[in-house]
Amino acid sequence: MLLSGCSLESVGKAFGHFGWPGPGISLQAHKMYDLWIASTIAALVVGIFVWGLIFWCIIRYRKRGDELPVQTRFNMPMEVLYTVTPILVVAVLFYYTAIVQTDVDKLSKNPDQVVEVVAFKWQWQFNYRDGIGPDAGTVASTVGSADVIPLLVVPVGQKIRFEETARDVIHSFWVPELLFKRDVFPGNVRNVFEVTLDKEGRYVGRCAELCGTYHAYMQFEMVVVSADKFTTFLDTKKRGSTTQQAMEAIGFTGAQAYATTTAPLETRRQGSNWYQPNTAAAK
Ligand SMILES: [Cu+2]
């Protein structure tokens, strides 16, 4: 089962993914998902074995009379067995965890796209960069407002590097479907990670670090599109269009040009706006 991701996914599906949202939408997520499902299966196998032993002892050695049973102590082989076995179990889990963790944290020398994630109270800005690191330039960006939930448009099948920075307090970048989140720090700490997405679609993103009064409203949406559409989106943005115009340029018209996955916190939320009553409708 460890060797076959496919069968792990079908097993996971049969058991509600053992509590996870699903197999994820990136190559990194699939590896974490497989580790989770395999670890859970291993834990269940050990659990069933231990429960079996417990119930066997309860039934086999239940009280039959007033005679005191034989008092056994210091069975050396048993002592060794139940010291070595848990260490082996932990060592195997640690081994696979270390491998997956290293892989999820791996950074490439030349990512296909670099996106700077800027978090602030209580919004997100996504800067598309022309290189790696804080000294690279921003070629286009999308940002949220009191009235519009920000969109993070990214291509499928490319190495995307996210570089995180905050303007005030600690926030956390979280897209549940990535099975991953990472804190966004202010100051000179620049958290970096990479993902390669393998499923187009629209996915909700949230701030996962309690950052202040309106933390709960700090939503965004990740829109995963084909490489061609992404190029068109970015070119349209570079020419000075709004994010919604650029969305229309790649086929997301009308309400589709705005975030669709952040319910119950909708974009264009005038009327129920959190600090600007009667704000103007989004353009
Ligand atoms: Cu936040």
pLDDT value of position 267: 53
Q: What integer pLDDT is reported at residue 8 of this predicted model?
A: 84
Residues within 5 Å of ion ligand 1 by Cβ? 171, 207, 211, 218
Distance 181 CA to ligand 1 centre (A): 12
Residue 265 Cα, ligand 1 centroid: separation in angstroms?
15
Separation between Cα atoms, residue 183 and residue 132, nearest integer Å = 19
Residue 274: per-residue pLDDT: 43
Q: Residue 264 CB: number of other CB atoms within 10 A?
A: 6
> In sequence order, what E strands does 9-157 have?
113-120, 123-129, 138-143, 151-155
pLDDT of residue 2: 53
User: Which tokens belong to 157?
Assistant: 């099948």
The SS3 of residue 221 is strand
pLDDT for residue 69? 82
Q: Is 163 helix (H, G, I), strand (E, B) or coil?
A: strand
Ligand 1 center from residue 205 Cα (angstroms): 11
At residue 193, φ and ψ (nearest 5 deg) are -150, 165
- pLDDT, residue 280, reads 52
- Would you say the pTM of this structure is higher than 0.75? yes
Q: At 126, is the secondary structure helix, strand, or coil?
A: strand
Contact 197/160 with Cβ under 8 angstroms?
yes
Give residue 272's pLDDT: 45
Q: Please provide the size of the chain in residues.
A: 283
**Residue 146, both tokens:** 């009191």
Q: What angle do CA 272, 275, 281 make, to 5 degrees?
A: 55
- What separation in Å is there between the alpha carbon of 91 and the centre of ligand 1? 36
Residues 203 and 175: beta-carbon distance below 8 Å: yes
- Distance (angstroms) between ligand 1 centre and the Cα of 185 equals 10
Distance 212 CA to ligand 1 centre (A): 7
Q: Is 75 helix (H, G, I), strand (E, B) or coil?
A: coil
Alpha carbon of 208 to ligand 1 centroid (Å): 7
Tens-digit pLDDT profile for the chain (283 aa)? 555 555 788 888 888 888 888 899 999 999 999 999 999 999 999 999 999 999 999 999 888 888 888 887 888 998 999 899 999 999 999 999 999 999 999 999 999 999 999 999 989 999 999 999 999 999 999 999 878 899 999 999 999 999 999 999 999 999 999 999 999 999 999 999 999 999 999 999 999 999 998 898 899 999 999 999 999 999 999 999 999 999 999 999 988 998 889 877 765 545 444 444 455 554 4
Are 169 and 212 spatial neighbours (Cβ–Cβ below 8 Å)? Answer: yes
CA–chain centroid gap for 40, Å, is: 19
The alpha carbon of 46 and the centre of ligand 1 are apart by a number of angstroms equal to: 40
pLDDT at 235: 97
Taking CB atoms within 8 Å and a gap of at least 24, the contacts of 88-91 are: 89/42, 89/46
Structure tokens at 160: 């995307």
Question: Which run of H or of E encompasses 94?
Answer: helix 76-105
User: What are the strands of the beta sheet with 159-166, ordered from one edge?
Assistant: 138-143, 123-129, 113-120, 159-166, 191-196
